Structure 1
Amino acid sequence: MTSSTSDPTGTGRWLRLGQHALLAVLAALCAVRAVADGAHPLAEIGALALFAGWYAVGPRLARLGRDGTGWFVGLVLLWGLLVLVSPENVWLAFPLWLLAGHVLPLLPAVVTSLLVFVVVALEPVRQSGQASFAAIIGPFIGMVVALGVAKAQQALVRDGIERQRLIASLYAAQEESAALTDELARVQRAQGVTSERTRLSRDIHDGIAQGFSSLLLLARAARAESDTDRRSQLLEHIESGAAQGLEESRRIVGALAPADLDEGSLPAAVRRVAERFADETGVAATVTASPTLPAVPTTVEVALLRLVQGALANVRTHAAAHTVTVSLEEAGTTVRVDVVDDGVGFDPQGWWDQPSPTSGEGGYGLRATRARLRELSGGLSVESAPGEGTAVSGWVEIGRPVEDA
């Protein structure tokens, strides 16, 4: 018999209740007919009580998950005792055939059922010395039907259990999918926050921080300048730089492109940055741009312009250069920007090997620019040596000319 714990659908429970009810009805019928046919009442009732008591052990074994073969064999033997008490008890063969289909595998169930059938078919011969066709064919059909019903019940219960398992698996998969979706959304939000922080730190460094650095140098120069006209010129540069820094900060807050890109192409923006750099520092700045330079997405323009701004800020602060050359070129599907100065130079390998600075004393710009270009499938290289100037090169692979929408 199938344990109720393995049948969450409840189908097997109702089938078992029906089988118990059938056996109870047949047992009562057999008792009445046996006593009416002359069987000793105590023997009949005692044998039926023993049969019913042993039958009640079966559901307990099923709940414990025990094998029911031995139990069923004992039940068949008790039924044989009942038949010896009264031939009317052969009616209990039908529940035995049902149980055989539930408890035993197919072949043992068929063999056991045939043995029970032989007893049922020979009982009229034992009692009256003769047998009829109906007394044989009727029990045989009952045996076949009982075995078929039992195996069909098992298949029905198995299908119900499998369907329940699939439904449970589906619910589990849906819950797991929902959990993964929530986790993915959380990770994406975290990545978005990190990316936005990185973008803001780069924009603040390349725009506002470098602007403050320029204002600081201009203010120091103005304070040390004795020529009134030159001091007035420096103050005008400070005022212009402060206004530009204010506008840049507003654009960073609004997540817009640099102000220099608003009034023209990338070459025009680079020329304005270089001209302003030359006016403020006195360093000769030259800009050359390839006439075949393709239109590029705004994100690429921003990255390359930030590269120029950062490189010129480093020239202003560290290089002590006399001339700077900025060139924009295209080679196939690559747009390249080079900023070359004739300043004091430095050891780039030793600089790259140093940990990223966190003290605010400088050194963040080139690393931030390189990271920005790598995000756009580009890169950054720095060539320099002490006393030999510096060349900063950045490039972006655009695949093909792309017009902004």
Structure 2
Amino acid sequence: MSSASGSARQRMLRGARFALHLITVVLVVVTTARAGIEGELLPVLLVAAVYLAWYGAGAGFAHKRAAVWWMLGLLAIWIGMLALSAEFVWLAFPLLLLAGHVLRLPWSFAFMIVVLAASIVAPMLHPGAVQPGTLLAHLIGPLVGGGFAFAVSLGYDAMLRDAAERERLIDSMLRAQHEAERLHDELAASQREAGATRERTRLARDLHDTIAQELSTIVMLARLEPSAGADGVAADPAAPVVGVRQDRTAQIEQLAQHSLTELRRIVAALAPADLDESALAAALARMLDALRDESGISGALQVDPDLPALSTPVEVALLRVAQSALANVRQHAKAQTVQVALTSGGGSVRLRLEDDGVGFDQAVRPSDASYGLAAMRSRLREGGGELTIRSAPGAGTTIEAMLPLGAGTGLAAGSGADGGAV
């Protein structure tokens, strides 16, 4: 579009210049013929030839620095022509057309004043060349025609400048559009890369929270001595070893089947299997039952009776935090009991897990030093929540997760994400 408008402007400019050159040549020929009839022919032809030669030599200098001197030369030659004959006053018309087009204000205005003054004085210098009663016409004709020509040239030049400015603006807009398209493509690529990174992080967290935890439990159960119970404590000597092995095998099979189901859910990008058919509270109860069966740690669940319905992203986030926290209790706490509370209030929901295990020194072992605890905190922050950890050697550990009830956008992007055991 820019090249088309530029070529159209160039064609219009060439057409206007050709018309101006044609008018100049025609007027020179006509006025020279009239002046030659009324006076001496040779001087008139000589000065007309000089005028045309100078005009033709500098016609290509329009809008160049030499054009000013070219115009001054034309003015000087024209004044010399006026000294020979008043007929040449009609050349004021193309001169003023050139002035408005080539010169810039205020020089073009000064040029116009000189041309009009010469047009007025010339008939007075040749009283014999002017018929009686036509002096006024000789004065008014050049003045009106020259003034009109000057105004037309100024307007035409302004129109050309406006066309050039519009072309420049169009070019600038096209460049800005191309730059915006390039930036949009770069932003889209960055967003795709960021989305892929978030998805990889989500899958890593989900696998850590589910498959990895249950596989570690399977390994722990497989390593127990045949004479030990599920909690690692010596079993009844009277109990058959085969029966213990069968019970352990059933537990391992149950965990493996659950891991397989969860893996299928992850691949299909569905909600966690624990939340597929029941609410978060029921899922937490099943997790505590499994903890008791697998490790002998008893658990108690307290649920706020006024707990509102939670969105799926909030339930998933709290479920993952519970999975990671209970995995820590199973593997590291050496606890006998764990208390789980699910409450709401102040526009938020809170999940608190408190065990009576060995605890740890938070000054020596910061919570962010473990992947699981750091992942819990990261998950909750995505939804505008927070994680609080309180522990001391011999005093157990309390983990409290808080999420706004309206959380969902940031959590939905990674609904299977953070959390995990230490």
In the TM superposition, residue 57 of structure 1 has moved relative to its aligned partner by: 5.3
Q: 1:16 matched to which residue of 2?
A: 17
Which one of 242, 246, 256 corresponds to residue 232 of structure 1?
246
Task: Give me the whole-angstrom Cα distance separating, in 2, the residues matched to 1:350 and 1:75.
Answer: 97
Once the two structures are overlaid, the 10-residue window that deviates more, 28-37 or 145-154, is: 28-37
In the TM superposition, residue 304 of structure 1 has moved relative to its aligned partner by: 0.3
Task: Give me the whole-angstrom Cα distance separating, in 2, the residues matched to 1:317 and 1:246.
Answer: 22
Task: Give me the whole-angstrom Cα distance separating, in 1, the residues matched to 2:7 and 2:407.
Answer: 64
Deviations 1:266-297 (A, max 9, x none): 11110001111110001111111111111111
Query: Aligned-residue CA RMSD in angstroms?
Result: 2.6
In the TM superposition, residue 124 of structure 1 has moved relative to its aligned partner by: 2.9
| Correspondence 1:96 to 2:95 | yes
3-state SS in 1 of match to 2:366: helix
Residues 58 and 352 from structure 1, CA distance in 2 versus in 1: closer, same or farther, beyond 3 angstroms?
Answer: farther
| Correspondence 1:205 to 2:208 | yes
> Does the 8 Å CA contact 1:345/1:384 hold for their aligned counterparts?
yes
| Correspondence 1:278 to 2:292 | yes
In the TM superposition, residue 56 of structure 1 has moved relative to its aligned partner by: 4.2
Once the two structures are overlaid, the 10-residue window that deviates more, 237-246 or 123-132, is: 123-132
In the TM superposition, residue 102 of structure 1 has moved relative to its aligned partner by: 2.3
Q: Which has the higher contact order (CA 8 A, sep 6+)?
A: 2
Residues 320 and 56 from structure 1, CA distance in 2 versus in 1: closer, same or farther, beyond 3 angstroms?
Answer: farther
Q: Which amino acid aligns with 1:307?
A: V
Q: Which amino acid aligns with 2:52?
A: A
Q: 1:190 matched to which residue of 2?
A: 193
Q: 1:50 matched to which residue of 2?
A: 50
* Structure 2: unaligned runs, 5 residues or longer: 1-5, 229-239, 413-422
Q: Which amino acid aligns with 2:393?
A: P
Q: Which amino acid aligns with 1:32?
A: A
Q: Which amino acid aligns with 1:368?
A: A
3-state SS in 1 of match to 2:300: strand
Deviations 1:338-393 (A, max 9, x none): 111111111334433766xxxxxxx3221112111111111112111222211111
Superposed, which structure 2 residues align to 1:81-92 within 5 Å? Answer: 81-92=80-91
| Correspondence 1:344 to 2:358 | yes
Q: Which amino acid aligns with 2:190?
A: V
Task: Give me the whole-angstrom Cα distance separating, in 1, the residues matched to 2:151 and 2:191.
Answer: 58
Which one of 365, 369, 374 corresponds to residue 372 of structure 2?
365
Q: Which amino acid aligns with 1:30?
A: T
Superposed, which structure 2 residues align to 1:141-156 within 5 Å? Answer: 141-156=144-159
Task: Give me the whole-angstrom Cα distance separating, in 2, the residues matched to 1:379 and 1:316.
Answer: 23
Which one of 159, 162, 166 corresponds to residue 163 of structure 1?
166
Q: 1:379 matched to which residue of 2?
A: 386
Q: 2:260 matched to which residue of 1?
A: 246
Moved beyond 6 Å, runs of 4+: none
| Correspondence 1:324 to 2:327 | no
Task: Give me the whole-angstrom Cα distance separating, in 1, the residues matched to 2:139 and 2:335.
Answer: 119
Q: 1:118 matched to which residue of 2?
A: 117
Task: Give me the whole-angstrom Cα distance separating, in 2, the residues matched to 1:353 and 1:59.
Answer: 86
> Does the 8 Å CA contact 2:384/2:403 hold for their aligned counterparts?
yes
Task: Give me the whole-angstrom Cα distance separating, in 2, the residues matched to 1:88 and 1:138.
Answer: 12
Once the two structures are overlaid, the 10-residue window that deviates more, 183-192 or 158-167, is: 158-167
Q: 2:77 matched to which residue of 1?
A: 78
Task: Give me the whole-angstrom Cα distance separating, in 1, the residues matched to 2:364 and 2:170.
Answer: 63
> Does the 8 Å CA contact 1:333/1:400 hold for their aligned counterparts?
no
**Number of aligned residues:** 388
- TM-score, scaled to structure 1: 0.88
Task: Give me the whole-angstrom Cα distance separating, in 1, the residues matched to 2:81 and 2:225.
Answer: 124
Task: Give me the whole-angstrom Cα distance separating, in 1, the residues matched to 2:306 and 2:406.
Answer: 15
Once the two structures are overlaid, the 10-residue window that deviates more, 133-142 or 110-119, is: 110-119
Q: 2:402 matched to which residue of 1?
A: 395
Residues 34 and 134 from structure 1, CA distance in 2 versus in 1: closer, same or farther, beyond 3 angstroms?
Answer: closer
